[in-house]
Amino acid sequence: MPDLLIELFSEEIPARMQARAAEDLRARMTDALVEAGLTYAGAVAFATPRRLALTVQGLSAASPTLREERKGPRVDAPEKAIEGFLRGAGVSREDLEIRNEKKGRVYVATVTRPGRPAAEIVAEELEKLIRSFPWPKSMRWGSGSLRWVRPLHSILCILTDEGGGAQVVEMEVDGIRAGNLTRGHRFTAPDAFSVVSFDDYTAKLKRAHVVLDADERAGAIWHDATNRAFAAGFEVVEDRGLLAEVAGLVEWPVVLMGEIGDDFLDLPAEVLQTSMREHQKFFSVRNPATGQIERFVTVANIEAADHGATILAGNQKVLAARLSDAKFFWENDLRTVREKGLEGMAEGLRDVTFHNKLGSQADRVERIAALAREIAPLVGAKPDLAAEAARVCKADLQSEMVGEFPELQGVMGRYYAQAAGLAPEIAAACEEHYKPLGPGDTVPSAPVSVAVALADKIDTLAGFWAIDEKPTGSKDPYALRRAALGVIRLVLGNGLRVNLTDLFESHFATRDAGTLAPFFDDAYLAKIIDLLAFLHDRLKVHLRDEGIRHDVIDACLSLDGSAPAGATPGNDDLTLLVHRARALGDFLKTDDGENLLQGFKRANNILRQAEEKDGVEYSYGADVKFAETDEERALFAALDRAEPQITQALEAEDFAAAMAAMAALRAPIDAFFDAVQVNADNAVIRRNRLNLLNRIRTICLQAADLTQVAG
C-alpha cells in the first residue's frame, strides 16, 4: 500500500482562496482515484501562499481487474446488430457464449478490464484535475494556455512504498514535468531539494522555513501574539478572520509588536482597528487598564538578522501615514458636523443615486423618515424623534471616514451624532438602524432604533418590489433576503404587533415622501401581497432553525383556506402568526395533538367524500336529538363545552389555551369513530352525523388549517 504525495508549487495564491483550494484538491483527487478503482486509507490536503499539497495514505498499488458480463442480441438477430454488439464490447465472435434467456437464445460477452497501476491512474487523474481546477478566478501566463490561479512552476508527485522507496509519477502538464523536487522559503531557503515521503517533505520544509499546515501557522501566530502582548501587560483583540487571512500570507510566521503613535490614540477604537486590519493586516492590541487600542501586532514572513527591527520600523511608518489620513478625515468630519450639523453633512446625499428608478439617497432618507414616524407609535417611540433620527441616519455615508472605510457606516454615524449634540436615542439609531445584518447579528431593542431600522428595511423591500427587482435564484444584488429577515427578526425579537401590509400600503401611498408614488397604481396591491408572501417564505426558513415545520406554518397561514396566503387578514402580523405556529407545533408533538389531527383528517375525509357525492355542503347545525349512541351524545357535549372555550381563547390570542381546549376533544372524537358508523342507512341520522363532523372541522379550522399538516 503506497502513499501518494502531490505538491503544486506556484506563485503566491490569494490567501482567501487557499483553504477552499486545499479541500477541492483533496476531494476531487480522492474521488477520481476511487472512481478509477483505487482505495485509500486517509487523505489530508494543505495550502501555503506558494503551494497546494495532498498526502494520500495507504493507496492501493493498482486497480483490480474487472470482469463484466454483457448481454447481447438474440442469436437470430440481424448480422448488423451482432456486429455492433461485438464492436461495443470489444470482443470477437469466438469469445461469445450463448445462453437461454426468457426472450430466447442470446449472445453473452465477458469483458475483462485489466487493472492498472496506481501511478498510471494518478498521472492521468492529476493532469485532468490541474486542467479543470475550480479556482474562483484563474489566469494564463507566458505563451502557454494552461490556467492556474497564478503561474504554476512545478509539480511534485511521488508514490512512496512501505519500504520507504519513492517513485516519481511520470506526468506532464503544459511542459511542467512532475518530479520529486520542491523549494523552501522564498528568501531564506530558495534552493530546490528532493523528498521521498510526506514525513520527509514536512520535515525538510520546516528546516527550509515553511510551515505546511495553515492551522499550525495560525496557532503559532496566535500563541506568539498573545504571549508578547501579555508580557507587556496588553491583550490582543481576537479576530479569527484576520488570523486565517494572515496565516495565508506567510509560510514562516514571525510575530512583531509595535506601538501606535500617541498622536492617534484619541481616534475611535473602531477606526484604529479597521484601518489597521484592512490596510495593514495588523491585529489590534488593547491596554486592559485604559480599554484603548495602543499597540499592534504584525506578522512578517521572514526571520531577519536584526530580529525584525527594520521591518517593524517600516510598518510603524506606514501605519503612521495611514492613521494621519484617518485623523485628517476624522477632524474634517468633526468640523463639518460642528459647523453644519449632521443634516448639513447629509446634504450631499441629494447627488448620490440610490437606484435610478428609486431616486437619490436623499429621496430614500425622506421616505424612511416618513415611515419611521408612522411606525414610532407602534413600537413605543416618539414620532418626532424617530423621524429626526431617520433624517440623519445616512448622513455618515457622506463623511470622509466612511468614504475611506465603508464598513464603518453606522459606527461613524453614532460618533458624529454625538459630536453634533443630538439625543442619545438618535446617536444609537444611527448605528443600530442597519441591524440585524445577518442571522447571527443582534436585534436592536431601543424604540427609536427599532422604528428607523424597520422603516429602512421596509422602504428597501417596498421600493424594489415596486420596480419589480426581486431576488431570483442565487441573485440578490440588493440583499433583499437579508432585509426581509431583518424585518422578521425586528418584529419577532421585540414582540411587535404590526400589520405589515398596512405599512407597505401607506408607504406606497405616501405622496409627500415622493418617489414611490408613481408606483401607487393598479398593480400595487398585487405587489404588496407578493411581498408578504416573500416575507412568509423567509419566515419559514427562519423558523425551520427553531424546529417549527413548514407545514405547520402553512396551516397557520391559510386560515381562510380559499384566499391566497398573503391576502388573509392577520397573516401580516408576524408575531401573532408565530405564536399560533409555535402553539400548534407544540400541540402536534403531543399524543393528544397527533390523535386529534388524525381525528380531524378522518372527519374531513368522510365529509369531503360525502359532500362530493351528494353535491351539498354539510354545514347545517347538527342536532343532539338525532343522536343514537352515548358516544355521539358525548361528542355533542364535548363540542358544546369546547367551542366557546376555543373561540374565547383565540380571541384572546391565547393559543396554548385554545390547543388545550382542542385536546379535550381528542377522546370523544376517537370514541365516536370507534363506535359510530357515520354513513348510516337512515338518511336523517347520516345527515345529522355529517353535520356533526362539520362542527369538528369548523372548530379545528378556526385554530389552523390542519389539512395542510403532513402526517
Binding site for other proteins (CB under 8 A): 11-12, 14-16, 49, 137-143, 149-151, 153, 187-188, 190, 249-250, 280-282, 298, 300-302, 304-306, 310-311, 313-315, 317-319, 321, 324, 351-353, 356
Cβ at position 652, least distance to other proteins in Å: 54
Handedness of CA 580, 585, 591, 597 (dihedral sign): positive
Give the residue with the Cβ less far from other proteins, 185 or 580. Answer: 185
Written as one letter, the residue type at 160 is: T
Q: How far is CA 248 from the centre of its chain?
A: 24
Considering the complex, state which of residue 106 and residue 225 has its C-beta at the smaller distance from other proteins. 225
Least Å from the CB of residue 17 to other proteins: 8
Region of 395 (left: φ > 0; alpha: ψ -120 to 50; beta: rest) is alpha
Strand pairing report for 152-160 and 66-74:
unpaired
Residue whose CB is less far from other proteins, 22 or 455:
22
* 514 Cβ contact list (under 8 Å, min separation 6): 359, 363, 366, 367
For the chain, the straight-line distance linking the first and the last C-alpha, in angstroms and rounded, comes to 51
Q: How many CB atoms lie within 10 A of CB 211?
A: 21
Give the closest residue to 256 by CA, choosing from 219, 201, 297, 210. Answer: 297
* Residue number with CB closer to other proteins (151 or 564): 151
- Nearer Cβ to other proteins, position 312 or 555? 312
* Residue with smaller CB distance to other proteins, 64 or 314: 314
Q: Are 367 and 516 in contact (CB under 8 A)?
A: yes
In the bound complex, what is the minimum distance in angstroms from residue 319's beta carbon to other proteins?
7
Contact by Cβ (8 Å): 4, 159: yes
Min dist. Cβ of residue 396 to other proteins (A): 18
Nearest approach, Cβ of residue 254 and other proteins (Å): 8
Q: How many CB atoms lie within 10 A of CB 510?
A: 18
- Nearer of residues 152 and 443 to other proteins, judged by Cβ: 152
In the bound complex, what is the minimum distance in angstroms from residue 187's beta carbon to other proteins?
A: 6
Helix 655-663 × helix 574-589 angle, to 10°: 30
For 588, residues 6+ apart whose C-beta sits below 8 A from its C-beta are 552, 594, 597, 709
**Which CB atom, from 92 or from 143, has the smaller least distance to other proteins?**
143
Element (H, E) at 85: helix 79-89
C-beta of 84 vs 151, nearer to other proteins: 151
Which of helix, strand or coil describes residue 99? strand
What is the DSSP-derived secondary structure letter of residue 308? Answer: T
Are the CB atoms for 503 and 510 separated by under 8 Å?
no
Cα–Cα distance measured from residue 353 to residue 361, given in angstroms and rounded to the nearest whole number: 6
Please state the closest distance from residue 30 (CB atom) to other proteins, in A: 28
For 162-185, the DSSP string reads TTS-EEE---EETTEEEESEEE--
Minimum CB separation of residue 191 from other proteins in Å reads 11
Amino acid at 601: K
DSSP code string of 533-552: HHHHHHHHHHHHTTT--HHH
Q: How far is the CB of 220 from other proteins (least distance, A)?
A: 16
Q: Which is nearer to other proteins, 187 or 620 (CB)?
A: 187
Query: Smallest distance from the beta carbon of 214 to other proteins, in angstroms?
Result: 16
Measured from the CB of residue 409, what is the shortest distance to other proteins in angstroms? Answer: 17
| Grid cell digits, residue 694 | 362539520
Least distance to other proteins from the beta carbon of 388, Å? Answer: 27
Alpha-carbon separation of residue 59 from 52, 115, 118, 127, 158 (angstroms): 19, 14, 8, 18, 12
**3-state SS assignment for residue 280:** helix
- Closer residue to other proteins (CB): 301 or 510: 301
Give the residue with the Cβ less far from other proteins, 119 or 311: 311
Cell of 571: 397573516
